[in-house]
Chain A
């Protein structure tokens, strides 16, 4: 039996598999299909300070091997989240990686502080800081496109959470060079990185000759973007190995549908794995990928999962 335990920057989990933010709601819906507490961690939908309606519809378009989405961070706000969702997650025994979002660093900090004060803080394994949501009105508000903005948000969150709280910065692949942004997030207080958020894309309805999505542009996800995720993880992990930025854990996400897909991201440098869009095809996908990965590692006689992280690097 392979030892699947991981320690991701102080976030100790029984196994590396997680849901991806926004692809699993806040747990109840998927718990009908498998025990979400059997995952290493459950990652919640990015939550903001106040309730948010999100955008109009259509909010999605299917694409070859993937989809575009333009949800616009619809959610209940952090107060309802800590009053309703977090207690439920704690009740089923889930370890929770809470994804937070905001329009500026003040809002991020407010959300993080409210979370840290919640009665169920004990089930929170870490915080994923979503600085890379593409579905915002102003492209200039995608913090993860700029090293300075990324650092500002991470520093603001770090300042309000208890010492030792594992923080992950979720990065966008839509930048010229990921390495300086990853470096800035780590320097500002992130313990690790989650890569990648969706890739900005667009579809046009050629019957009506207008953008298909109500929000015009959207985030591309699913198997179609897996090579982008592998590339992004590879580049950042390589920079860590070369000493250009500090060595830190990477949670890999993007197009994982099978255990072998997960292994590919691990070989590129991911120490944890999230399954997103594949869940829409198979509601058991996060759990199934865990089982498939376990079988794959057992068959190869791997002693420790952690030994395979970055194994494809020279």
Chain B
């Protein structure tokens, strides 16, 4: 897919991906930046993205401009895409939380500024194994960003979609106004400033039972993804979780973003979240190796280091 080239502000042609490859690399003008609670929703012009992206995929943005000392790309869930009259007019939206210098730079972009964008990347949410039935979508904080689009996709396929949005506090909820995209919406906050006081796991068991959902989709902090996976497993259903591992490149070349994943052959290997994820089958993740911002290599993983002293 080659996007229609437009001009880079310094006169260089906009970089585009090569013909036949499902990724766009573009210098994208910001069309709109809107503050939403503690977040900013950025609308970017990304030629050709609408035909390529599916819910759950992400984008990797360069931050700070061409000479910035912040070299690494920042990853964001694609909130949604909007097809233009022609592919050249396609738009892509993301939701940005100010978490440090790179995200702050992004929240400071205004209409007409440009951002170097690579999208779409990684694997998105799979559709449920069987048509019909119901699915539950769980978002923590800005993790809700890709879920409204997924809810609509499910409903167009005849699957009922039930949303649960949770956050520490009211200002960190995103998308409570998009309840229309789903069949139902429930909200939880840790401090009770909106919806039910507590975490998403408080309302999930009843919702799972009432809706008889066959699939759960979740995006948010690792602790939440693990808890959601456990609840789904308890009912024998699938949880697809969108993970957030620190990424340096986003495109699969640096090997920084790995997680221990059980493969079809039952063997655990360290897989790249940016290529094999960010959406993974929660039951395939080795959760016991993931804690407190660190991931260790399980001893039985393919190619795991032998303990010192040659005990094995």
Contacts and interface: CB of A to CB of B under 8 A. Distances in A.
Interface stretch (B77-85, B159-167, B202-210, B302-310): B302-310
A69 B253 CA distance: 13
B28 interface: no
Contacts of B237: none
Contacts of A222: 71
Contacts, number: 135
B251 A283 contact: yes
Contacts of B292: 208
B303 A51 contact: yes
Interface string A73-92: 01001000000000000000
A98 B292 CA distance: 37
Contacts of A34: 18
A71 B17 contact: no
Contact of A52 (B15, B295, B303): B303
A54 B245 CA distance: 16
A200 interface: no
A71 B15 CA distance: 29
A278 B71 contact: yes
Interface string A215-257: 0000000111000000000000000000000000000000000
Interface in B242-281: 245-246, 248-249, 251-259, 269-270, 275
A137 B293 contact: no
Chain A interface residue number, banded:
35 or more
Interface string A259-288: 000000000000000000111111110000
A279 B249 contact: yes
A50 interface: yes
A58 B71 contact: no
Given A57-B245, A57-B294, A59-B256, 16 more contacts: A31-B18, A33-B18, A51-B302, A53-B269, A53-B301, A53-B304, A54-B258, A55-B305, A60-B248, A62-B72, A64-B69, A66-B71, A71-B254, A72-B305, A279-B249, A284-B25
A53 B252 CA distance: 16
A109 to B, nearest CB: 20
A298 interface: no
Contacts of B254: 22-23, 60, 69, 71, 280
Interface string B31-54: 000000000000000000000000
A74 B17 CA distance: 27
A121 interface: no
Contact of A214 (B248, B295, B304): B295
Nearest to A69: B256
A153 B225 CA distance: 46
Given A53-B269, A223-B69, A208 B251 contact: no
Given A53-B269, A58-B246, A59-B256, A282 B295 contact: no
Interface string B73-95: 10000000000000000000000
B71 A277 contact: yes
